[in-house]
Amino acid sequence: VERRRQLELRANTDELTSCFNRSAILKVLSTTLARREGAPGGTAVIFIDLCGFKIVNDVFGHAAGDRILELAANRLKETIREGDRVGRFGGDEFLVVCPGVDGALFALELAQRVRDALTDRVDVKSGNVELRASVGVAWSAQDLDADALVAQADEAMYEAKRSGSTSVTLFASTQ
């Protein structure tokens, strides 16, 4: 039983950050959306892209990049609400799944808290790095699937990136 638990943990966890890995956070989101029936509020998905991460790796080395990823993951875990979940989506991207969110404006507030937690100067072995993030958020109280909600949050994140490197953008449906 313990061995099986260890295998499941390794299969669902990003080794560097100890967050959920991509497939596990998508399962968390799918499960959250499936269980939502009758629950108050909706579900928010916050999509985070660390700004200038490639430069950190190129200039300061991959060990500094790993330190930034670990720091970002820890700050995300400290910032989210109980019941929210953090996953490393890939590279320098993270996804936060937030169930029971009472509206798009509250989802935006949660995303702004995330952005604020990821705005700082960080000491790395060879100097200082500015930690910054572009953040997009999507919220839905309706029956969207996980892929659609992630795509909306991703689109909002790219809009935030175009607007300014530390912007937070709420997905706005054109329907």
Within 10 angstroms of residue 121's Cβ, the number of other Cβ atoms is: 8
pTM of the full structure? 0.92
pLDDT digits (tens, 9 = 90+) for 46-81: 999 999 899 898 988 898 899 999 999 999 999 999
Q: From CA 22, how far away is CA 47, in angstroms rounded?
A: 12
pLDDT digits (tens, 9 = 90+) for 107-166: 999 999 999 999 999 888 777 888 899 999 999 988 789 999 999 999 999 999 998 767
